[in-house]
C-alpha cells in the first residue's frame, strides 16, 4: 500500500519527480514569435533610421507603417509556407517508411534491432524489444522515423500557429520604434532609444524562456540590432547626400 506523501512509481519502479515539466518545443510558435519580434524591431528601427537620415518625420511615419504591414504579412506568409513545406516533407517520409514496412517487414525489424543494439541493448533484449514495438504498426512506424530522421510525425508544428505568432510579434516589434513619432515626438534618437529598449526586452525574454542568462541575451540582441541599424542609417545618410 502506498503511504500518503509517497511518490507514484513508474512501470520501472522509479518514482516520478513531482512538478517535472518540459516546455513545448514542437509547436512552432516560440521560434516564429521570437523571430518575428526580433525581425520587426531590427528591420523597422533600421528602416526608420535610414529614412530619417534624409527625410521628414512625416515620411518616416509613412515608411515605418508601410514597413510594419509589409514585414508582418511577409513574415506570416513565409512562416506558413516554410512550416507547411517541412510538414509535407515529413508526410512524404512517412509514406516511404510505410511502403517499406509493407514490402520488407522483416528487414525493418532487423534494422530496429541494429539501432537498439547501437543504443546499448544486448542483441537478445533488442530483438525482444523490436518484436514488441512492431506489434503496433503505427507506433513502430513513428519509432523508426524518430530514430532515423529525428522527428516525430505525430508532433508536427502548426503552420497557422507559426504564421499568427510571427505576424503578431513582428507587428508589436515594428511599432515600438514608431511610438515616439506617433506621439508627436519627431526625434530619431528617441525612436532609436525605444528600439534599443525593445531589443533588450525581446532578447531578455527569449533568454528567460530558454533559461539562459538574461543580461547576455539582452545585450547580444542589442548589439546585433545596433550593427544593422547603424549600417542602414549610414546608407540612408549617403543616399540623401548623393540625391541632394
State the pLDDT at residue 244.
Answer: 47
pLDDT at 242 over 60: no
Inside any domain, residue 74: yes
Inside any domain, residue 88: yes
165 is written with which cell numbers? Answer: 505568432
Inside any domain, residue 3: no
Helix, strand or coil, per DSSP, at residue 157? coil
How large is the average pLDDT for residues 153-174? Answer: 91
CA 148 → CA 115, 123, 129, 132, 141, distances in Å?
A: 9, 19, 17, 19, 11
How large is the average pLDDT for residues 200-218? Answer: 88
Inside any domain, residue 107: yes
State the pLDDT at residue 162.
Answer: 92
Domain total in the chain:
1
- Flag whether the pTM goes above 0.85: no
Terminal CA-CA length for the chain? 87
Q: Is the Cβ–Cβ distance between 54 and 233 less than 8 Å?
A: no
Inside any domain, residue 4: no
State the pLDDT at residue 71.
Answer: 94
CA 109 → CA 99, 142, 149, 154, distances in Å?
A: 14, 13, 17, 21
Domain that holds residue 51: 29-237
Show the beta-strand stretches assigned E in the chain.
Answer: none
If one counts every other C-beta atom within 10 angstroms of the C-beta of residue 60, the result is: 23
Judged on CB neighbours under 10 Å (0-12, 13-18, 19+), 118 is: exposed
If one counts every other C-beta atom within 10 angstroms of the C-beta of residue 48, the result is: 29
Inside any domain, residue 99: yes
If one counts every other C-beta atom within 10 angstroms of the C-beta of residue 75, the result is: 26
Inside any domain, residue 132: yes
pLDDT at 24 over 80: no
Residues 121 and 220: their CA atoms lie apart, in Å, by 43
Residues 7 and 47: their CA atoms lie apart, in Å, by 57
Cell match 531578455: residue?
204
Nearest to 38 by CA among 193, 179, 203: 203
**20-24, 31-35, 115-119, 216-220: which range is least confident on average?**
20-24
**24-28, 37-41, 165-169, 188-192: which range is least confident on average?**
24-28
pLDDT at 213 over 50: yes
pLDDT at 27 over 80: no
% residues pLDDT > 70 (the chain): 86
Inside any domain, residue 12: no
Amino acid at each position: 500500500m502506498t503511504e500518503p506523501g509517497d511518490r507514484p512509481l513508474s512501470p520501472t519502479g522509479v518514482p516520478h519527480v513531482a512538478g517535472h515539466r518540459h516546455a513545448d518545443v514542437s509547436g512552432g510558435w516560440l521560434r516564429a514569435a521570437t523571430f518575428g519580434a526580433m525581425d520587426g524591431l531590427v528591420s523597422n528601427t533600421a528602416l526608420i533610421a535610414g529614412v530619417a537620415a534624409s527625410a521628414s518625420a512625416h515620411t518616416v511615419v509613412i515608411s515605418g507603417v508601410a514597413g510594419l504591414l509589409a514585414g508582418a504579412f511577409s513574415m506570416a506568409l513565409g512562416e506558413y509556407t516554410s512550416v507547411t513545406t517541412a510538414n509535407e516533407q515529413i508526410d512524404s517520409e512517412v509514406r516511404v517508411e510505410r511502403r517499406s514496412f509493407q514490402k520488407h517487414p522483416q528487414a525493418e525489424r532487423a534494422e530496429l534491432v541494429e539501432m537498439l543494439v547501437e543504443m546499448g541493448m544486448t542483441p537478445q533484449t533488442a530483438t525482444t524489444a523490436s518484436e514488441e514495438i512492431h506489434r503496433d504498426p503505427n507506433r513502430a512506424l513513428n519509432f523508426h522515423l524518430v530514430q532515423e530522421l529525428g522527428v516525430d510525425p505525430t508532433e508536427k508544428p502548426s503552420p497557422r500557429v507559426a504564421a499568427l505568432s510571427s505576424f503578431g510579434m513582428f507587428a508589436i516589434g515594428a511599432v515600438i520604434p514608431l511610438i515616439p513619432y506617433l506621439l508627436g515626438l519627431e526625434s530619431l534618437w528617441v525612436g532609436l532609444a525605444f528600439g534599443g529598449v525593445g531589443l533588450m526586452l525581446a532578447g531578455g525574454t527569449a533568454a528567460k524562456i530558454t533559461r539562459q542568462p538574461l543580461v547576455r541575451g539582452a545585450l547580444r540582441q542589442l548589439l546585433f540590432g545596433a550593427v544593422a541599424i547603424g549600417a542602414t542609417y549610414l546608407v540612408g545618410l549617403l543616399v540623401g547626400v548623393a540625391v541632394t
